[in-house]
Structure 1
Amino acid sequence: MLKRLLTLLCLLPLLNSPSGAQSPTGATPVSITTFTAGMERNTGFLTYYWDAKKGKIWLEISAFDTELLYYPTLAQGVGSNDIGLDRGRLGQEHIVKFQRSGPKVLLIEPNYAYRAISNDPLERRAVEESFAKSVHAGFEIAAEENGRVLVDLTPFLMQDAVGAAQAISQTKQGSYKFDPVRSAMYLPRTKAFPQNTEFETIITLTGENAGPFLREVVPTPASVTMHQHHSFVQLPDDKYKPRLFDPRIGYGGIEFFDYATPVSQPITKRYISRHRLEKKDPTAAVSEAVKPIIYYLDPGTPEPIRSALLEGTSWWNQAFEAAGYKNAFQVKLLPPDADPMDVRYNLVQWVHRSTRGWSYGASIIDPRTGEIIKGKVTLGSLRVRQDYLIAQGLVGDFQTDSSHVTEMMAMSLDRLRQLAAHEVGHTLGLPHNYLASTQGGSPFGRASVMDYPTMVAKVKGASIDLSDAYAKGIGAYDKWSIRYGYEQFANGANEKQELNKIVNQMHAAGLSFLTDQDARPEGSVHPATHLWDNGASAVDELKRVMEVRRVALANFTEKKIPAGTPMAMLEEVLVPMYMFHRYQVEAAAKVIGGQTYTNALRGDGQPVLSTVPVPEQTKALEALLSTLDPQFLAVPKSVLAMIPPRPFRYDPNPREVFKRRSGLAFDPLGPPEASAGMTLRMLLHPERISRLVTQSAVNPSLVSVETLLEQLLNQTWYKADPADAYLAEVKRLTDKLFLQKLIDLTQSTEVSPQARAVALLKVDQLKKRLTTPLSNASSMAQAHRLFALDQIRRLDGNPADIKSTMAQAPPDGAPIDPGQEWLSPDCDWR
């Protein structure tokens, strides 16, 4: 007993010392001044102290139950587009508040997804108590003084806040976990500003089984070190007025349940996201802004890219002028003394990766109202090289090392201007509008920079012209959308009526809006919503693009690469030329079984829904079948003679070259297999096939599944082999790919039962044709027929025995144009 008492007496000085975690219960806490003696004090939105001896951050909390914004950021990334852990990647915003309970402080996130917008506190409390909150952290009070308390923030900061380990796992790049021993505070980027306080940490993940993407970018893959950032931001005042969302014009934003809503009205409230913008003179038709929206470009961006990005970003001022503002949108270089983490700076950041990759436009928003607090654009530096490579294939002719370089760079910089405008548009609140490439008065659409355009290459005689490759300014739709989001109406005006008037005027101008959900799925239904297409008619543009491709391949010589470059590198230039039609094929396929529709509201006068007429569907089918012609699919023999195996230390990036079954040698059947497989995949998409069943049942004159499959048989198996041996082998390859697709349809549970039945009928009809003897058939033709009959026999017996002939996938195409997939794991905006 005496020994225990002596031990306790020895410990009491430690418990009362500044380095102890907490004073004894009931005792007067040590003061903050005493506790932090010798520490570095940093004042700002949240005041903190740096304890250099212990490597700790002590946070001073002076306001409890006061809401603020917290979000994590990846300050220094991993450098792999596939993993997606890029420099500047934003995490999710959280409304939080510090709440004290005795000797403890909790960091609590209220649940703003469920609210009662009411003056009745009991009504608000009923909703608040019905749904869960989230506690992000708990802290023991270490010191206290004049109502202020001090807590150790370090454990909260020392975590994988952006979910990097999870991202590595989800992309199958290994199993990793946070290693606190190899992690520490990073003081140069830990700062306090008037409206935000920023903390940065060096975070290390350790693990094993690193995948190829990770091994490519990390010096020692067992240890992945990055910088993660924590931002605590002052929330805006309550003078911002939220604006209602309208599905007919595109805006991101917030939505929540409002339980104070009368039963006769929708309980879900939807607001758009936008920056706060007000006129100095609300009565003037055109006025300067009280506080203009200013975007700052990363000064680490090199010239001439820097000037192109500044110019493209500045295009948005044209839209704000249409909304009644003068010089309300500005773009500048980030000042040398400014910190990109300061919430006061909307930022356009230049990011490097090991491969070409997506660009992003994201925003930090107030989850209560939808107000944008900070816009953040991330532009991948290798994208411009992909655009230059495409220009090189189209117009390159290296008589000298500088031949056509000016022309190729001009197209690439035009693309960057459009890319900058596109991504900044996301940070202004705008989603993609994939109808814009079919609207706007131009032969190539161009109604919005929020679409994904591909370059417009025009055939002029025996050459290609890129002078009109990309639009050089904001689109007509962009002006209407900015008017909807930012126009300031006269005092006393009915805002809902004024907004509806803007939408109606936009429709009267021939402009409308459809976005990712309407365009991205390969089986999507609208014939005019697609990525990387141009023009009002997807079919006419496919034919035009096929002609550009023909000229590009006809002009393809060794002069597509500079002197001194390994000849094998010609393949990288060949890929985008051979696959130049890829996106227009997908666009044209949507015409077959397609339906035109709008986001119509009852009573607004818009057309609601109609099926694509018979002539257009038939025309699309004819055009798509022509992409399966052996002459179209074959690689020019002159090109085949120019591409040897790769030299030492020039290993190909597998994304940038054709898959092959021929080892080191270039495979002459690789490109045809990729292209034919792509067309067949689009035409025979399960959703499209199922729609053909229903559309022909409702209107027998429309294209049916039987018509489609019969036309494909006529283009493949029922057509004679060409005399040329190479073309004949290309044709036989296409036959086999189609047979496999046909067999797959008979077994698919994704298509309607009748579609499976028709596919089975066509297999049976083909079997009968193949059993009819052919006179003077070559051994290659006989082998081809024997292979097909063997596959069909296996289908009749045990389909599991079928040895599938799966088409080799084409080399990566995207991203060749703007943005990242909206609301995907690599989300390019929110």
Structure 2
Amino acid sequence: MRYLILLLAFSLLLPLQAQEKDKKETPTITTKTEGMDRQTGFYTYYYAPEEGKVYLLLDRTDEDFLYVNSLAAGLGSNDIGLDRNQLGNTRVVFFKRVGPKVLLQQRNLDYRAVSDNPAEAQSVEEAFAQSVVEGFKVVAKSGDTVLIDLTPLLLSDAHGVAARLKKAKEGTYKVSEDRSALYPERTKNFPKNTEFEATITFTGEPTGRNIGSVAPNSESFTLRMHHSFVQLPDDGYQPRAFDPRSGYYPTSYADYATPIDQPLVKRFITRHRLEKKDPTAAVSEPVEPIVYYLDRGAPEPVKTALLEGARWWNEAFEAAGYRDAFRVEVLPEDADPLDVRYNVINWVHRSTRGWSYGSSVTDPRTGEIIKGHVLLGSLRVRQDFLIAQGLVAAYGQNGTTPDPRLEEMALARLRQLSAHEVGHTLGLAHNFAASTNDRSSVMDYPHPYITLTDAGEMDFSQAYTSGIGAWDKQTIKYGYTDYPNAAAETAGLAAVLAESEQLGLRYISDSDARPQGSSQPQAHLWDNGSDPVAEMDRLLELRKVALEKFSEQNIPVGAPLSELESVLVPVYLMHRYQVEAVAKMIGGYQYDYGVRVAGETPKYVPTNPGFQQRAVSKLLETLSPETLMLPTDLEQLIPPPAMGYGRDRELFTSQNGGGLDPLAMAQSATDNTLTFLLHPDRLARIVEQHAMYSSVNLPDLDAYLSNITDYIQQQARDNRKEPYALRVSEMNERRLAHHLIQLAANKEISGAVTAAAHGALRELRRPSGTELTANEEYIDHLVRSYLANPESYEPVVVPDLPDGSPIGD
């Protein structure tokens, strides 16, 4: 019994001893932070330079704020996509203290119950998973206020670099703690936001080539990561309803408190907060203007062009009833481009040309844009210069001073590009149908509209538009017009949409505009005009003139003659995007994003059969030797790459040992056209339209494939006596056979398409005993072997076209 009493007494003493130990081991905040640099602001923090740590003071918990991570210093590889000043994730988080730990927890805002009943809201919150971003130990405390060591979060791979590299098959990397440290120069505090930055070094084993192309050492490279803690906006912002015709990006969530007869998913547009000083005035100054700042690193004349283009948007805000609501200035010297208080247009360098981006920091609760953030690739301007360089004798007899039209065109594109990307950060999505409405929006991807004068000279004056478009004004009206009440807003938004329809302003965005499988012929990337076939005719004529006049005067004196090939490529491929636009007419359907209107019946109908046949004929023309062949004197003009230059992905892949290869160029161009002519989705729609719309005389798939086969075979017969043309024609025959085999072997496409492909292959066989050319014998053997034993077929790898998109954006 005595032993039992002693054991009980000892067990009661243990918690008391632990508490005393805890009191001794957990110092007060004053003691812990003695000698540290204290920075007050949104969240007070202490910087301990000797320790290389940041300690965060938590005098409030369970309070929501925005956590944004970014990449302050990038990798410089377009292929990998880790760019300077790139935004990362935006999350609503809160600190939650649990005994000796503090958790940084993320809200799951995709599923909510917007209800006055707390139990209803809690039931949804508990039904779906939450996320803990990071956990911390309390290192000091004073009363209810605690201090945590924030350094592990700041030195982590918050941007997901290692995962991205692994997915890109570039290697397996991890953060090297010994080579990573805080970056105090850009760790700052402000009343509504606290900013941290760190230098992060990754080490690992590379398996790709891209890291080594931009980093001094592919086994170890260093980036800088930025972390922003941002106060959430007040509740004065009023979300605006999303309509698929509006031209905006939607933000959405499922509201489980919604009555059963209403949509579960709530959709709102993303936009900045903008209000009139005088809501009763037709035109008023804003309470607070939207101000964008341009990266100080942009050089002249680029800087001026970017400022001019971005400022076009003020005209659209004027149409929405504002005076001086949108401004663009140069970023102040002491400002950080990742500071959430600044909307920034960043000038970003990469080792190769690539996409530009318009992104934003958005409040996930409402869709309010807090920070617009543009990344503009600096090599964009050089690509447009190159396009123009190939169309004229750019350096003439003089040989040193380029034709001024080259720079003028490149800067015109930069103005449009600046406006385009800023448009995204205002909430606007792409409108790829704008080119059919006289280039009515900067939110399209524009192909340079270069024309020929009556004298046959190149005219660059209309290459790119200047100023905002009619569609852009309508979208800003929808998103930013200030209304006095909800009823007025509902009526006003409906009026804006009705006005757009009355003006004939079409709107089609990304998924319906992408080239290969999409069925919407009125929306495409990199095109001009409402008639794709007519535009193809214009481009082919432009291309023909440029190829005929191409000479050594297209490059400066002193440049290796082999550099002519770089200038030649965009000329030879002048029509590449129009091939895609024309192909979309075949098996196409006419539709938009209309909503149900009482008393009206929607129409979803095939593209006119006559238009479809014109499209087929025009695409077949791009397979003719006349289109695919180069003027013979060009090959004599351009030698293999000079010492120190070499071939790169901006050139055609050569199959002749490394020099200019006209037959390989033709082969890649042919393959491009056949890819779009024979896309399985398009062929399935041809079957579908013939079956369901028999009254409008649409061809069946067998006839469609026979038409392509007959044209290609006829070209070979017509060019028997012309060696160059014959080789191109025979190459077309081989590529057609391979495409048909790949269709027939594809187990994931329409069965009707597979059957038609087999039928077309059987038509390629030659009767036994027929005298065949070597090319005919090859095709006959290829087809018969596949039909007898499909598993024996091995696809022939055809070099891709040189890099194309982005030619802009």
**Bucket of the pairwise TM-score, normalised by the shorter protein:** over 0.9
Separation (CA, whole Å) in 2 of partners of 1:580 and 1:544: 11
1:456 aligns with 2:465: no
Structure 2, unmatched stretches of 5+, are: 1-16
Residue type at the aligned position of 2:668: A
- Runs of 4+ aligned residues of structure 1 deviating over 6 Å after TM superposition are none
* Aligned residue in 2 for 1:828: none
The residue type paired with residue 257 of structure 1 is: A
Contact (CA 8 Å) 2:515, 2:584: kept in 1 or not? no
Moved more, 744-753 or 110-119: 744-753
Work out the CA distance in 2 between the residues paired with 1:661 and 1:583: 24
Q: 2:413 aligns with which of 407, 415, 418?
A: 415
Q: Report the AA paired with residue 525 of structure 1.
A: S
Structure 1 counterpart of 2:679, from 677, 682, 685: 685
For residues 231-263 of structure 1, the C-alpha deviation after alignment (integer angstroms, 9 at most, x for no partner) is 111110011111110011221132111111111
Matching residue's letter, 2:409: M
**Percent of aligned positions with the same letter in both sequences?**
48
Partners of 1:102 and 1:757 in 2: CA distance? 68
- Secondary structure in structure 1 of the residue aligned to 2:688: helix
Q: CA deviation at 1:803?
A: 4.3
Local SS of the residue matching 2:373: strand
Count of residue correspondences: 786
Look up the SS of the partner of 1:676 in the other structure: helix
Q: Could you tell me which of 145, 154, 166 is aligned with 2:163?
A: 166
User: In structure 2, what residue type is equivalent to 1:409?
Assistant: E
- Indicate the residue corresponding to 1:489 in structure 2: 483
Q: How many Å separate the matches in 1 of 2:727 and 2:27? A: 86
The correspondence for 2:582, drawn from 577, 582, 588, is 588
Q: Which amino acid aligns with 2:448?
A: M
Maintained 8 Å contact 1:87/1:351: yes
Within the alignment, does 1:616 sit opposite 2:611 as a pair?
yes
Deviation at 1:494, TM superposition (A): 3.4
- Is the CA contact (8 Å cut-off) linking 2:399 and 2:553 kept in structure 1? no
Distance in 1 between residues matched to 2:757 and 2:101, nearest whole Å? 69
| Alpha carbons 2:393, 2:550 under 8 Å: kept | no
Q: What is the CA-CA distance between 1:805 and the residue it aligns to?
A: 3.3
Partner Cα distance (1:158, 1:342) in 2: 19
2:297 alignment partner in structure 1 = 300
More moved, 374-383 vs 122-131:
122-131
Asked if 1:563 corresponds to 2:557, the answer is yes
1:212-227 → structure 2 map (5 Å cutoff): 212-227=209-224
The answer to whether the aligner puts 1:710 opposite 2:701 as a matched pair is no
- The one-letter amino acid of 2:746's match is S
Q: 1:662 aligns with which of 656, 660, 670?
A: 656
The one-letter code of the counterpart of 1:452 is Y
Q: Which residue matches 1:390?
A: 387
Q: Secondary structure at the match of 1:216?
A: helix
In structure 1, stretches of 5+ residues that fail to align are 1-15, 440-444, 775-780, 819-830
Residue matched to 2:765: 767
Q: CA deviation at 1:751?
A: 3.0
Does structure 2 retain, via aligned residues, the 8 Å contact 1:294–1:332?
yes
Which has the larger displacement, 340-349 or 395-404? 395-404
RMSD: 1.8
CA contact (8 A) 1:689 1:751 kept: no
Aligned-partner Cα distance in 1 for 2:536–2:446: 14
Deviations 1:381-433 (A, max 9, x none): 11110110001011243122455431100000000000000000000001101
Q: What is the rounded CA distance, in whole Å, between the counterparts of 1:772 and 1:244 in structure 2?
A: 72
From 45, 49, 55, give the equivalent of 2:46: 49
Residue 146 of structure 1 and its aligned partner are, at CA, apart by 5.3
Q: How do 1:328-477 and structure 2 match up within 5 A?
A: 328-399=325-396, 400-439=398-437, 445-460=438-453, 461-477=455-471
Q: How does 1:170-319 map to 2 (within 5 A)?
A: 170-319=167-316
Aligned partners of 1:406, 1:554: CA distance in 2, in Å? 22
Does the residue aligned with 1:716 lie in a helix, a strand or coil? helix
- Which whole-Å CA distance do the structure 2 matches of 1:200 and 1:56 have between them? 12
* Stretch deviating more after TM superposition (715-724 or 377-386): 715-724
1:641 equivalent to 2:636? Answer: yes
Note closer, same or farther for the CA distance 1:548–1:494 as it changes in structure 2 (3 Å cut). Answer: same
Deviation at 1:802, TM superposition (A): 3.0
Alignment of 1:48-127 (within 5 A): 48-127=45-124
Whole-Å separation in 1 of the counterparts to 2:310 and 2:400: 29
SS in 1 for 2:705: helix
Equivalent-residue separation in structure 1 for 2:57 and 2:693 (angstroms): 72
Q: 2:3: which partner in 1?
A: none
TM-superposed deviation, 1:210? 4.0
Q: Matches of 2:529 and 2:98 in 1, distance apart? A: 63
Matched-pair contact (CA < 8 Å) for 1:179–1:206: yes
**1:771 deviation in Å?**
4.8
Structure 1: distance between partners of 2:670 and 2:105 = 56
1:4-56 Cα distance to aligned partner (Å, 9 max, x none): xxxxxxxxxxxx9xxxx998335695322221111111111111111111111
SS at match of 1:505: helix
- SS for the counterpart of 2:21 is coil
Please give the secondary structure, in 2, of the residue aligned with 1:670. Answer: helix
How far has the Cα of 1:455 moved from its partner? 0.3
Deviation at 1:671, TM superposition (A): 1.0
Structure 1 contact 364–373 (Cα < 8 Å) conserved = yes
Name the counterpart of 2:756: 758
| Aligned counterparts of 1:146 and 1:545: Cα–Cα separation in 2 | 75
**Structure 2 CA distance for aligned equivalents of residues 86 and 239 of structure 1:** 34
Offset at residue 706 of structure 1 (A): 1.6
Of 615, 621, 644, the residue aligned with 1:626 is 621
Residue 391 of structure 2: SS of its match in structure 1? helix
Q: Is the 8 A contact 2:647 2:658 kept in 1?
A: no
Q: What is residue 5 of structure 1 aligned with on the other side?
A: none
Deviation of the 1:316 alpha carbon: 0.4
- Matched residue of 2:80: which SS? coil
Pairwise CA distance, 1:172: 1.6
Q: Is the 8 A contact 2:392 2:550 kept in 1?
A: no
Report the Cα offset of residue 74 of structure 1: 0.6
2:533 pairs, out of 529, 535, 539, with: 539
Give the residue type in structure 1 aligned to 2:97.
Answer: R
CA contact (8 A) 2:625 2:725 kept: yes
Supply the distance in 1 between the matched residues of 2:493 and 2:310 (Cα, whole angstroms): 26
The CA deviation at 1:106 is: 1.4
Aligned equivalent of 2:141: 144
The residue aligned with 1:442 is none
CA gap 1:144/1:569 in 2 versus in 1, 3 angstroms: same
> Against the structure 1 CA distance between its residues 595 and 59, is the aligned structure 2 distance closer, same or farther, given a 3 Å change threshold?
same
Q: Secondary structure at the match of 2:765?
A: helix
Q: Which moved more, 1:189-198 or 1:610-619?
A: 189-198
Q: TM-score, normalised by structure 2?
A: 0.95
Letter in 2 for 1:648: M
**Secondary structure of 2:235's aligned partner:** coil
Which string of whole-angstrom CA distances, capped at 9 and with x for unpartnered residues, describes residues 352-406 of structure 1?
1100111010000000010001010001111110110001011243122455431
Cα distance change of structure 1 residues 645 and 28 upon mapping to structure 2, 3 Å threshold = closer
Amino acid at match of 2:493: L
Rounded to whole Å, the distance in 2 between the matches of 1:491 and 1:765 is 69
The equivalent of 1:815 in structure 2 is 806
Asked if the contact 1:418–1:471 (Cα under 8 Å) also holds between the matched residues in 2, the reply is yes
Taking the aligned partners of 1:389 and 1:803, their CA distance within structure 2 comes to 38
Cα distance in 2, alignment partners of residues 133 and 744 from structure 1: 46
Distance (whole Å) between structure 2 residues aligned to residue 66 and residue 124 of structure 1: 17
Q: Which moved more, 1:550-559 or 1:204-213?
A: 204-213
Q: Partner amino acid for 1:759?
A: A
Matched AA of 1:613: N
One-letter code aligned to 1:696: H
CA distance in 1, matches of 2:622, 2:703: 18
Deviations 1:61-95 (A, max 9, x none): 12211110001101000000000000011111110
